[in-house]
Structure 1
Amino acid sequence: MILKDILNIYHKELDDLFGNEEVNSFFNILIEHYLDLKRIHLVLEPEYAITKEEEQPLFEALAHLKSQKPIQYILGETEFYGLPFKVNQHTLIPRPETEELVDWIINSHSERSEESQLEESQLKILDIGTGTGCIAISLAKHLKKTKVSALDVSEDALKIAKQNAKLNEVDVEFIKDNILNSRHAEGVSTSHYYDVIVSNPPYVRNLEKAEIQPNVLENEPHLALFVEDENPLQFYKAICEFAQLNLKDNGTLFFEINEYLGKEMIQLMKEFKFKDIELKKDMFGKDRMIFGRK
């Protein structure tokens, strides 16, 4: 079948859902992934034909896209901060806003990591609720002489995170535990004192579900997304408590947050005596990140 004809089928089936440009983008990603062909190939060889065997994954992907399955789950991979990451239904798909959080941490600590010559003075970082491991792995890749640990409650998510650490050739210590339990995640030794704690925990309130795209709502793990309306800061409070015991004096705490709860987050961090608190907007102008110093 001629590849251009398959593209036309994609537009016929998907344009009403995603729009012409997005469908073109999907198709280009898929032909590169499955056929190792670049977009320019369709321009240079408009009559380029593929075999029935080569057609199959494209039509399977089309069926998934019609059901609004995210393309990252169809491919089983995505890119984050310039690095490849495996994803599946047990992990959230890493977002561009989270790249901004990683960038903030790297810019804040790159000089310190360069100065850490001795094992004892390594910059120690803990990522809480790691999911794919995108934050922890990106920090381990870009900050030299840094010891990175990552915690998650989901064994399935940790399996993917471990694969991603191997894929990106970094050494990250992975810990299975629940930051909400009263013993403050015993998997993290009390002898660990961290220079940086970072978290992108669940923060979407049930009342905000109407704002969530169906492809996210129906595919991504709710455990990693949603919190109860009456207690939306439960993870942040637990992590602040944990940081009181496990963050070094003058250590830093970074969060990705709910865009509607910036003021509440500032107040929470003040209650836990954090200093130099800074609320930062993302590329879309939304209150999305916050920083505090112990």
Structure 2
Amino acid sequence: MKLKAYRDFFTDKLAPLYDREEANQFFVIALQHLKGWSRTDIALNPDAELTKNEFEQWNAVLADLEQQKPIQYIFGKAYFYGLEFTVTENTLIPRPETEELVEWIIEENADKGKIKLLDIGTGSGCIAIALAHNLKNAEVHAIDVSAGAIKVAKQNAIDNGVNVTFIEMDILPTPSLSEEYDVIVSNPPYVRNLEKQEIKKNVLDYEPHTALFVDDNNPLLFYDKIAALAKESLKPDGKLYFEINQYLGSETVTMLEEQDYKNIILKKDLSGNDRMIKAEL
């Protein structure tokens, strides 16, 4: 079969599950990973034939996509803030909204002198590594409870040529952080179980639930704990940044106010949802 014809077959098969534009994008991503080609290469090689081995590889990718497995997990790669990251079943797939949080932190700290920064719940390391890559003045540390995530994040730091100190730690029972920081950032679990019906199958079936979900009765568990730890570990004029549940913006602000944080800013993402908070002591 010609590759050009397979593209039509591929997108037609996925059309019932995804819109055609997304299906086409999956084809382009697979084309890059499986053949090292761009969409331009197909136009330049209209008669390119799939070998038997290539046909089997493409069909395996198609079968995974029909099961709504995220394409990032199929190929083990995701892109975040212009960098490439390995992702596994131990790590969430980096989200565009989180790029907006990183951009906010970079904008506010790029012109400062040397700073020490901590990312809590680092997962793939995307926040910590993107900040280390773009804030040359920053000494970056990162924490995660998952040994598997830490292993992936360490490799991602190496692959992206940055130095990040990774620490395996469960912050919930931790009485205090051992160092002081100018910036603490976290994108902790924040999806309530009652919101599971809003979550797509590709997330619900494949991404690690411990990094996603919190109990309905205590949805700010991680935020409250991190804010308490940050009170003792932020340097004077230090800043705390969170990515938050879009439905709990006012509740998160109130929690921070109750912990005596000041200059609290609740910020929307590009989709108009409450998504980020900055607070100072």
TM-score by length of 1: 0.93
The aligned residue for residue 151 of structure 1 is 143
Deviations 1:22-44 (A, max 9, x none): 11111111111110111122233
Over 3 Å counting, the alpha-carbon distance change for 1:182 and 1:159 in structure 2 is closer
| Cα deviation, residue 182, structure 1 | 4.4
The aligned residue for residue 265 of structure 1 is 252
Any stretches of 5+ residues in structure 1 without a counterpart?
117-121
For 1:82-231, list aligned pairs within 5 A.
82-112=82-112, 116=113, 122-184=114-176, 188-189=177-178, 192-231=179-218
Deviations 1:202-240 (A, max 9, x none): 000000001111100000000000000000000000001
Contact 2:184–2:240, Cα closer than 8 Å, also in 1: yes
Q: Distance in 2 between matches of 1:41 and 1:54?
A: 16
Q: Distance in 2 between matches of 1:134 and 1:97?
A: 12
Deviations 1:167-206 (A, max 9, x none): 001110000011111424xxx42xx110000000000000
Q: Percent identity between the aligned chains?
A: 52
| Cα deviation, residue 250, structure 1 | 1.3
Q: Distance in 1 between matches of 2:33 and 2:126?
A: 21
| Cα deviation, residue 6, structure 1 | 1.7
Q: Distance in 2 between matches of 1:144 and 1:8?
A: 46
TM-score by length of 2: 0.97
Contact 2:61–2:74, Cα closer than 8 Å, also in 1: yes
User: Letter of the aligned partner of 1:79 in structure 2?
Assistant: Y
Indicate the RMSD between aligned Cα atoms, in angstroms: 1.1
Q: Distance in 1 between matches of 2:139 and 2:174?
A: 26
Contact 2:192–2:215, Cα closer than 8 Å, also in 1: yes
Bigger shift: 136-145 or 52-61? 52-61
Any stretches of 5+ residues in structure 2 without a counterpart?
none
The aligned residue for residue 13 of structure 1 is 13
User: Letter of the aligned partner of 2:266 in structure 1?
Assistant: L
Deviations 1:133-161 (A, max 9, x none): 00000010100121100000000011100
User: Letter of the aligned partner of 1:211 in structure 2?
Assistant: E
The aligned residue for residue 229 of structure 2 is 242
Q: Distance in 2 between matches of 1:12 and 1:278?
A: 45
Q: Distance in 2 between matches of 1:38 and 1:97?
A: 27
The aligned residue for residue 47 of structure 1 is 47
The aligned residue for residue 26 of structure 1 is 26
| Cα deviation, residue 57, structure 1 | 2.1
| Cα deviation, residue 50, structure 1 | 2.5
Deviations 1:83-111 (A, max 9, x none): 11000111000000000000000000001
| Cα deviation, residue 12, structure 1 | 3.0
The aligned residue for residue 119 of structure 1 is none
Deviations 1:222-275 (A, max 9, x none): 000000000000000000110011111210000000000010011011111111
User: Letter of the aligned partner of 1:142 in structure 2?
Assistant: N
The number of residues matched between the two structures is 281
Q: Distance in 2 between matches of 1:101 and 1:37?
A: 32
User: Letter of the aligned partner of 1:75 in structure 2?
Assistant: F
| 1:17 partner SS | coil
Contact 2:175–2:229, Cα closer than 8 Å, also in 1: no
Over 3 Å counting, the alpha-carbon distance change for 1:229 and 1:181 in structure 2 is same
